[in-house]
Structure 1
């Protein structure tokens, strides 16, 4: 029996009220990373009309591979996004647009989204998946290493430095945490205190360079650190602790509740402080967790949960 003939027609998008512009969707998903892509897929699989907005900017865009993701360990992030968009193309109720959002606001029982191309779309609900922005320590050359020789997550990058020398920039408590995680991985660990007093409880065998750091550059073996006295030191990788903030202004525009971490506060279903506004990925933070989780796998999982919860909210 040919089951394709029994497939129900896709529900059409409704026209917006008189005087407004753009179609009205069940949900608009803002953000084209793993969280947003998965949320759109989850909504599309139960034939909800959904628009995915992809600005083309991603937190991990400087990384050449993602790790700690079962069956995708070592996959380039762009390859995963392309495969996900190809899968979404099979769902008639899912639209994908390569355009960013500029403003979101409550509108006639739903939400209006103003786009960078000057148009406006409306939806009954929003899934925000716009991620975080990392501000690195102000050290010349460090930004050029970010995502490869310089990283912040040992679960995502630590194994790639196995059996080699690894540095941690900063003298705060995070240096103790990072060096303890990396102790079984690296052959040598050095804390770059950068002229600050050491506040970290370090495991045995960790070296400390107290001199101020004046720059970094890529080298044959990884990254070369230059100190204020002119000396240099090479490491396979350098771990840093960036300051992470919301990459987009939408949480502030909507007045969503946030946590001291800077993440948008969500419950375990990805629901924010506003009805039918859900958040997913590393921009969102469940209070029971110590921090927003910076992981492609966790982001995708939270997108699925937020998408499913949005379906329930739309019923």
Structure 2
């Protein structure tokens, strides 16, 4: 039985694997190859990786992890996770995996508004985070698509970046068309609006069923409730990345850097949990 099973191969899961490797804990990371930012061509606002492709960041992370022989990476899909004895069993398409503890880093799925062409531009000309995608639109027209209390704040945040901030309601736009210079937002009543880029806030949901399968406490946002160190309502389950956040936040802060930091915190908390078990049981706590 492994010390830990990590489900999810994004920045949170990869950082958790690296942290566990450095503490000589046996761990298996299962990566399905599906990522929330799969359409993003360049990641930003990540120190030393600004402008690097997300797949390149993952490749470099895997190279780092390969130096630690207690950690194994598997390309597989987990269908189910269940408790068994003093640990968990994950049923995967490559066979079962058993571990004492679990790190969930499976992320979220964005449900985009049903506007023709929006999905094709998502992660490219259309994005959600101005911190990640705003600077590249400097000095040009930026459009905000959708309504809600976030619009005035986001308009003010983007004002120093764009030459003009245009707000369009979802009902106004009939089609999003990618162009060489950005996008054309076609309207049912009026001329199309040309913009260098668009920001919108889609709904999101859990990318995997494991929080529900394990009966974890959830927050109104639809995310897993964790404490400041990434522990869920189950003492042996830890979580990091977009799928979870502390209850003081209204929603997760979607950022590669913050996801990696959350993965590190979750793994460190997991190591402390296992060490506490060893101390409590009177087992070996010194060098092996």
> Does the pair score TM above 0.5?
yes
Q: Provide the residue aligned with 1:193 in structure 2.
A: 169
Q: Provide the residue aligned with 1:229 in structure 2.
A: 189
Question: Does residue 85 of structure 2 align to residue 125 of structure 1?
Answer: no
Q: 1:51 aligns with which of 18, 28, 32?
A: 28
Secondary structure of the 2:99 match is: strand
Q: Cα deviations across residues 60-103 of structure 1 (Å, max 9, x unaligned)?
A: 11001111111111111000100111111111100000112111
Question: Does residue 229 of structure 2 align to residue 269 of structure 1?
Answer: yes
Q: Provide the residue aligned with 2:63 in structure 1.
A: 86
- Structure 1 residue 230: Cα displacement: 6.3
Q: Provide the residue aligned with 1:284 in structure 2.
A: 244
Q: Hey, what's the Cα distance between the residues in 2 that align with 1:289 and 1:230?
A: 39
Secondary structure of the 1:256 match is: coil
Q: Cα deviations across residues 155-185 of structure 1 (Å, max 9, x unaligned)?
A: 0001111100010011221211211110111
Structure 1 gaps, min length 5: 1-23, 196-211
Question: Does residue 143 of structure 2 align to residue 167 of structure 1?
Answer: yes
Q: Provide the residue aligned with 1:20 in structure 2.
A: none
- Structure 1 residue 194: Cα displacement: 3.5
Q: 1:256 aligns with which of 207, 216, 219?
A: 216
User: Following superposition of structure 1 onto structure 2, how do residues 298-313 of structure 1 map, counting pairs within 5 Å?
Assistant: 298-313=258-273
Q: Provide the residue aligned with 2:85 in structure 1.
A: 108
Q: Hey, what's the Cα distance between the residues in 2 that align with 1:172 and 1:43?
A: 41
Structure 2 gaps, min length 5: 276-288
User: Following superposition of structure 1 onto structure 2, how do residues 63-78 of structure 1 map, counting pairs within 5 Å?
Assistant: 63-78=40-55
Secondary structure of the 1:259 match is: coil
- Structure 1 residue 116: Cα displacement: 2.4
Q: Hey, what's the Cα distance between the residues in 2 that align with 1:302 and 1:163?
A: 34
Q: 1:41 aligns with which of 8, 11, 18?
A: 18
Q: 2:73 aligns with which of 84, 87, 96?
A: 96
Q: Hey, what's the Cα distance between the residues in 1 that align with 2:245 and 2:203?
A: 16
- Structure 1 residue 229: Cα displacement: 3.2
**Could you say what the CA RMSD is over the residues aligned between the two structures, in angstroms?**
1.0
Secondary structure of the 2:222 match is: coil
Q: Which has the higher Rg, Structure 1 or Structure 2?
A: 1
Secondary structure of the 1:303 match is: helix
Q: Hey, what's the Cα distance between the residues in 2 that align with 1:80 and 1:95?
A: 18
* Number of residue pairs aligned between Structure 1 and Structure 2: 275
TM-score (norm: length of structure 2) = 0.94
- Structure 1 residue 314: Cα displacement: 1.0
Moved segments of 4+, more than 3 Å: none
Q: Hey, what's the Cα distance between the residues in 1 that align with 2:251 and 2:160?
A: 24
- Structure 1 residue 276: Cα displacement: 1.2
Q: Hey, what's the Cα distance between the residues in 1 that align with 2:150 and 2:260?
A: 27
Secondary structure of the 1:78 match is: helix
- Structure 1 residue 310: Cα displacement: 0.5
Q: Hey, what's the Cα distance between the residues in 2 that align with 1:227 and 1:116?
A: 46
